Amino acid sequence: MPRQVDYYFSLQSPWAYIGYQPFRVVASTHGLKVNYKPVLLVELFSETGGLPLPKRHPVRQHGLNFHLQPAYFPFNPRLADGVVIAAIEAGHDPDPFLRRAFPGVWEDQLNLADAATLVKMADDSGLPGKQLVERSGSDEIGAAYEQNRQDALAADVFGSPCHVLDGEVFWGQDRIELLADALNSGRAPYRSQA
């Protein structure tokens, strides 16, 4: 059975966008099963003391065609994050959608709060866009989204992206190398002494 990593993120997070491809490389290299867990950052931040993008120092661009202030930012990520949850619920791998959605916000400056944009993006990813977008707005997907937030709080997650391996939290796109090191070394997870 492959090792698993819980991946907490929001499509609204520029750091999740920057770190997604390097994370997928690590996950693929190590044969990890990724448990995608979109989470509403605004509520998570309010409970953990995190800061939204406008209150942080500007992010490095890492060679990406990155718009620090895209046309549709900030946006309500509920519908887009819900498409990921709906895709998983329907047995689809959300990776093709995420590979389009992250650059959709940060490179192409698309409105991921717009249902028609999401339908096209999902369709272009080989997923049933209309079905997933309709399902995204359901109470059941809303409940799963809330459960992801509760899971994030229980796992000591406080931002996006966060990768949780065997109970150890690797926070941020700049900690993916540490995740890879933990996988390569086979070391026991570090635990908080509190």
- 81 pLDDT band, cuts 50/70/90, is very high
What residues does each domain of the chain span?
4-185
Q: How far apart are CA 112 and CA 79, in angstroms?
A: 8
Contacts of 74 (CB under 8 A, 6+ apart): 12, 52, 53, 54
Percent of the chain residues past pLDDT 70, beyond the cut: 86
pLDDT at 57 over 50: no
Two structure tokens written together for 48: 């953990």
In the prediction, which pLDDT does 64 show?
Answer: 63
Q: Give the three-class secondary structure for 70.
A: coil
Q: Model's pTM, two decimal places?
A: 0.85
> Which residues fall within 8 angstroms of residue 99, CB to CB, at 6 or more apart?
20, 125
What pLDDT is stored for residue 15 in this prediction?
87
CA 191, 175, 164, 42 dihedral sign is positive
**Mean per-residue pLDDT of the chain:** 87
CATH of region 4-185, choose from 2.60.120.380, 3.40.718.10, 3.40.30.10, 3.40.1640.10:
3.40.30.10
pLDDT in tens, 120-145: 999 999 999 999 999 999 999 999 99
Question: In sequence order, which ranges of 30-169 are alpha helices (DSSP H)?
Answer: 41-48, 78-89, 95-106, 115-124, 129-136, 139-154
